[in-house]
Structure 1
Amino acid sequence: MQISRYSAPEFDPYGDARPTGTDEGWQAPTAAGPLSSVLAIPGSKSLTNRELVLAALGDGPSTLRAPLWSRDSELMIEGLRGLGTRFERMPGTGGFGDDLRVIPADELLGSTTIDCGLAGTVMRFLPAVAALALGPTTFDGDEAAYRRPMGATIDALRVLGVDLDDDGRGALPFTVHGTGRVQGGPLEIDASASSQFVSGLLLAAPCFENGLDLRHTGERLPSLPHIEMTIAALRARGIEVGNPSPGRWTVEHAPIRAVDVHIEPDLSNAAPFLVAALVAGGRVTITGWPSETTQVGSRLVELLPRFGADVERAGDRLTVRAPDSSAEGGRGIRGVDLDLSDAGELVPNLVALAALADTPSTLTGIGHIRHHETDRIAALAAEVNGLGGRITELDDGLAIEPVPLRGGPWRTYADHRMATSGAIIGLAVPGVVIDDVGSTSKTLPQFTQLWEQMLA
């Protein structure tokens, strides 16, 4: 096994593009004692952006109740607005902002530019929608987005007969020359780098003239629950999605039914708060936890007990209690050996937890998170090691040896989950200063307020 070790000064996933943030940064608060907190979390980004696409392609107006209002969802709204979709904000029912009525365009029109920011769902879901529009649509985004893989989407659309100009980059920026129709039919792609390649095609597939018969050709398919989320959203709108064999999905040409849908709380965004109970002691309760869900964050119910937590469900409330501290003076947090291939978005917060555990951990199956907002494997190793930690990169994971950490700067690389991971470590390590806590606006603009509420 090839192993490389990084320290903070040697690694910069941004190259010449530096992370944004104030000169002062945000000093992560240290817990003064055990927690006793009850919190509500805003809506799921993954569900919101899927439902926005399906509503825009629907056969009539749809209403999204308690959607997430964040940078990623607002970029999706603006992208769809540029293609002709209309939106009406309505008084909210979820406590975190307005509801949203989505009115599909009579005819999708291109001749626009879509700003993807750093949102994988925007850059991978909307190109197939733009192919159904008349006229060219240019996709651009943050400089860091230029390094996110897009080849599977670009190649797939070309196979389906879509004219697309990317100057051979296989990445942003590129232009989709839509003709108002996509033939569809059989298609093979390698989605090893992201399940979003599959989801983006499935969401638009009912509008393809021959539907879609999609096969994944790679050896591994990460984050399969996100594809299951896409399938569930399609089925709720009357679209039958077949799954005749692993890695193959079929969708017939059919109208996408307009529906009113309530967006669940974002369970992955609940992760730092639930993890905080183990680090600081005490308990944290999240309200609105769904009884059934396709969200990856639901795996916290089974993962956190592996670290020693006590997890209790009572109606729509999920409570995590800290383990008893060990006689040797540790936190009572156990190290783990986990394959997290289907839960990559939980990895950064779980790495922060493992770095504060009493015994070593190994997290594997996560090579694909090198292609998320930043190279999360290298970034996590760099930042924890920059505080005196001992994390070693593996071929597809991280080996974490807990040692006492010291305060210091924590870089986020414009990655919201790097920011929340730094905050977790700051609960136990005074003096952790996060350079860009504002990066949490990508999926949870209220992060710092909720964090302070939890600690109050």
Structure 2
Amino acid sequence: MTGIPADTAPWPAPTASGAVDASVTVPGSKSVTNRALVLAALASEPGWLRRPLRSRDTLLMAEALRALGVGIEEVVSSSASSTAGEAWRVIPAGLHGPARVDVGNAGTVMRFLPPVAALADGPVRFDGDPRSHERPLHGVIDALRALGARIDDDDGRGALPLTVYGSGSLAGGRVAVDASSSSQFISALLLSAPRFNQGVELRHTGATLPSLPHIRMTVDMLRLAGAKVDSPEGGGEPNVWRVDPSALLGRDLTIEPDLSNAAPFLAAALVTGGRVTIPDWPSHTTQPGDALREIFTQMGGTYTLDERGLTFTGTGRIQGIDADLHEVGELTPVIAAVAALADSESVLRGIAHLRLHETDRLAALAKEFNELGGDVAETEDGLRIRPRKLHGGVFHTYEDHRLATAAAVLGLVVDGVQVENVATTAKTLPDFPQLWTGMLSRAASGDALAGQGA
């Protein structure tokens, strides 16, 4: 099992000695890497992934595909001093079972791979961390059954553990899915749809649909791999996606930096009144993290996007925000941390689905911020944050990487914040403590930043 080691002692979140002034190279996107792995595994020819993210979630995906017979070779340039010189060569093969897949607590693995397993020849057993058993999978399971797959989800819970009995092919066709709890239900079916005998016509039937940028990412990557996709954004029918059956091309793809993982570093510029540059920030992207430019500007900063990347500058003041984060929910924990340090109240809306993520993120954020002296209340679909003077204490992470990075942001200006199990950041951001302390080592000299903007 590829697991996250639990820290035996809380990590003392370092306070900033002054305004941060640093350039931080963020590793590759988890969302792009795992989608690219699936598409490459289903292609008709070998492909390359350059600068892929190596984290718990992506390594779990790679190991799962290897268990199904896909060849994934890791190649590192001898002259490279970092992962910038790394590439993965993906060699498609006949998918087969029997196989066992450890999903950890990775939503992309637990949701993207059952459709792939339905195309394999033989049974594939899926299991993972205890929390994975609580995360919804019914949308993928029910849809696959409607498309012709045989699945045994123990006791009919619509969740892990489960077994997919692959027959080597899947009929495909029309199917309805309620993806209100996770856009990954739609992405999961779309990614494998070119290999279904009839492709797929997928209709979302729920009242809401979170994280639309991730679905757009899936559609764009499918098209780049040679698939024909009709989508609502392209003038198609609302809430309907159609994918024709076709062969997928092996591609040579360079993975973008993970813009959502840039959130705590950009927040550091805002919180300390400093400046942080993220190299290689794309000028056009479907990553939800690109919304940070607008959101953090509304909260009091400024940015430039040029050949160096994205440079974000804090002004020394943090303003509260009223924001609908429905499409970019994964940014919520760090935005909430910044809001807790602002000079006015914030309301974060449209994020009820975060209760079903790695943990119940809304309950966890409210509890942990309030344990440090904050005033955070859950609403029906989000959080209301009234800034208060905060104090140190242990910030529990519930094995959720984004809670750990949110705690680090608070620690910049609140003495004594202790982050429980900071190693959980390895899920999508390897070496986060080293990146964080490296950024702070380049803080401008000056008086320590005592207290916060409340």
Given that residues 7 and 423 in structure 2 are in contact (C-alpha distance below 8 angstroms), is that contact kept between their aligned partners in structure 1? no
* 1:198 aligned onto 2:183: no
1:409: which partner in 2?
A: 394
Aligned-partner Cα distance in 2 for 1:94–1:399: 44
Matched, 1:347 2:332: yes
Kept after mapping to 1: 8 A contact 2:152/2:164: yes
CA distance, structure 1, for counterparts of residue 299 and residue 20 of structure 2: 18
- In the aligned structure 2, how far is the partner of 1:20 from the partner of 1:73? 16
Deviations 1:7-44 (A, max 9, x none): xxxxxxxxxxxx97334210000001111101111100
Q: How does 1:49-448 map to 2 (within 5 A)?
A: 49-92=34-77, 95-96=82-83, 98-105=86-93, 107-166=94-153, 167-243=155-231, 244-324=236-316, 332-448=317-433
Superposed displacement of residue 291, structure 1: 1.2
Conserved in 1, the CA contact under 8 Å of 2:8 and 2:421? Answer: no
Greater mean alpha carbon deviation, residues 115-124 or residues 151-160: 151-160
Deviation at 1:313, TM superposition (A): 1.2
The offset of 1:279, in angstroms, is: 1.0
Shift of 1:317: 1.2
Contact 2:180 2:206 in 1 (8 A): yes
2:450 — aligned with what?
A: none
**C-alpha displacement of 1:95:** 3.1
Match of 1:33 among 3, 18, 27: 18
Q: How many pairs does the alignment contain? A: 430
Residue 278 of structure 1 deviates from its aligned partner by 1.0
User: SS where residue 221 of structure 1 aligns?
Assistant: coil
For the 8 Å contact 1:20–1:414, the answer to whether it is kept is no
SS of residue paired to 1:319: strand
Query: What amino acid does structure 1 have at the position aligned with 2:399?
Result: A
Q: Whole-Å Cα distance in 1 between the matches of residues 350 and 108 of structure 2?
A: 22
Give the CA deviation at 1:94.
Answer: 9.0
Whether contact under 8 Å (1:128, 1:201) holds in the other structure is yes
- Quote the Cα distance in structure 2 between the aligned partners of 1:94 and 1:47: 23
How do 1:1-12 residues align onto structure 2 when only pairs under 5 Å count? Answer: none
The residue type paired with residue 277 of structure 2 is: T
| 2:17 aligned partner, one-letter code | A
Post-superposition Cα deviations, 1:141-168, rounded to whole Å, max 9, x if no partner, equal 0001111111111111111111100121
* Alignment-mate amino acid for residue 37 of structure 2: L
Listed as ranges, the matches of 1:8-19 within 5 Å are: none
Deviations 1:270-312, CA, capped at 9 Å, x for gaps: 0100001111221111101011111000111111111010111
Equivalent residues of 1:125, 1:200 under 8 A apart: yes
Instruction: Name the % identity.
Output: 53
CA contact (8 A) 1:194 1:221 kept: yes
Deviates more, 1:120-129 or 1:234-243: 234-243
Residue type at the aligned position of 1:359: S
Cα distance in 1, alignment partners of residues 288 and 355 from structure 2: 18
> Residue type of the partner of 1:131?
A
Give the whole-Å Cα distance in 2 for the aligned partners of 1:402 and 1:365: 21
Coordinate RMSD, CA, aligned: 1.2
Asked whether the 8 Å contact 1:183–1:208 carries over to 2, the reply is yes
CA distance in 2, matches of 1:225, 1:148: 21
Structure 2's unaligned 5+ residue stretches are 442-454
Contact 2:393-2:417 at 8 Å conserved across structures: yes
Report the TM-score, using the length of structure 2 for normalisation. 0.93
Q: C-alpha separation between the residues in 1 aligned to 2:326 and 2:120?
A: 35
The question of whether the paired residues in 1 share the 8 Å contact of 2:9 and 2:421 is answered with no
Residues 32-82 of structure 1, C-alpha deviations (whole Å, 9 max, x = no match) = 111110111110000000000000000110000000000000000000000
Q: Which runs of 5+ in 1 are unaligned?
A: 1-18, 325-331
1: CA distance, partners of 2:321 / 2:275: 21
Given residue 346 of structure 2, which amino acid in structure 1 is its aligned partner?
S
CA apart distance, 1:96: 2.0
| Kept after mapping to 2: 8 A contact 1:20/1:435 | no
